[in-house]
Structure 1
Amino acid sequence: MTDRSPLIRVTAMPADTNPYGGVFGGWLMSQMALGAGSLASRLGQGKAVVVSASDFAFPGAMAVGDELSVFGEVTATGTTSMTVQVEAISRERNSEVTTRVAEGTFKFVLLDEEDRPRPVREATLSRQRENDNG
């Protein structure tokens, strides 16, 4: 985990809790979607919109004040799509203790200026190959 750079980092606030006082799973998913979307649009060199979210698990819990870091990587590319696997790690506010609190997969479609699906550019594929090789 320490060798990776987070796609997004944010602190959970009281408004982010569910009726039971824990951090709301929907808030976690939205932060993960923001991080994954940032990666997809950067690598895709343009607009990338979520078309599906799947395989979500919430193996841990986080509290108000904890810091959430979202990490992700492109695991597949299609003609016009990109699949991003995401992991969310919580760090306790006043310590270095971390917990994996969520994981899931987002699929994005890249869009052109008229909001029509467009092909994944070769630069994206080259960058992904470089990441896969080291």
Structure 2
Amino acid sequence: MTDATTSSALHPLGPRELVMRVMPMPADANNNGDIFGGWIMAQVDLAGSVLPARISRGRVATVAVNEFIFKQPVSIGDLLTFYATVVRVGRTSITVHVEVEAERNPADPQVVKVTQANLTYVAIDKEGKPRAFTRTG
């Protein structure tokens, strides 16, 4: 399944895959009770790296955050689910679209999209230099 909101310059190369689930805790919240945007960004970066690491069969580093959109606030107790889709594969880099959904209110469950982002990762060697990777499939 892909999302039509992916930037028109980027075209999905694969299915949307579940890559991570996490529940923010009170220590991740600001004084308004919402989860810090920086905490969410860090989680998106971790989730976004899963497919590039698998495809490149090794280390990857984030080289660009091409787009990051916060659609709704995230609260303590929301169960966040991260989905990733590969949208571009180059010789050493991979661009990924990440969507984050929140499951909230267990008494009357709701699932809402809270964040989406496009990030680019580069495959790196032991010295941290870009390396080409062998594509499979």
TM-score, structure 1 as length reference:
0.84
1:25 counterpart = 2:59: no
- Give the aligned residue type for 2:98: V
| Alignment match, 2:126 | 113
How many Å separate the matches in 2 of 1:50 and 1:13?
A: 25
User: Which consecutive residues of structure 1, in runs of 5 or more, have no partner in the other structure?
Assistant: 127-134
Task: Give the one of 45, 57, 66 matched to 1:45.
Answer: 57
1:74 counterpart = 2:89: no
TM-score, structure 2 as length reference:
0.82
**Which structure carries more helix by proportion?**
1
How many Å separate the matches in 1 of 2:54 and 2:62?
A: 14
Task: Give the one of 11, 18, 25 matched to 1:13.
Answer: 25
How many Å separate the matches in 1 of 2:84 and 2:105?
A: 22
| Aligned positions, number | 123
User: Which consecutive residues of structure 2, in runs of 5 or more, have no partner in the other structure?
Assistant: 2-14
- Give the aligned residue type for 1:15: A
Task: Give the one of 94, 116, 127 matched to 1:103.
Answer: 116
